[in-house]
Amino acid sequence: MVLILNVKSGASKEPNKEEKWDAQRREYERRIQEAEQRAEEAEQRADKEERERKNLEIQLSLVQYRSRNKRRKK
């Protein structure tokens, strides 16, 4: 009985450890970059909402001021 093993062809079909690690590293880097981008977008939305809130508070105080002045003049 003769058993012939073709080690080279089997090894070429599966990526070696370094290739697997490189692929994992690239995937993690991509996911980190996406997470950073989502965090930046969330921060920008929060800043925009904060500016809007402050603007509304200013408008409210202006309306309240005008209302008080109107009552005083009567």
∠ CA(60), CA(61), CA(63), 5° rounding? Answer: 65
Q: Is the pLDDT of residue 60 over 80?
A: yes
State the pLDDT at residue 26: 98
Share of the chain above pLDDT 90, in %: 66
Q: How much is the pTM?
A: 0.58
**CA distance linking residue 32 with residue 28, whole number of Å:** 6
pLDDT digits (tens, 9 = 90+) for 12-47: 566 799 999 999 999 999 999 999 999 999 999 999
Q: Is the dihedral of CA 25, 27, 33, 36 positive or negative?
A: negative
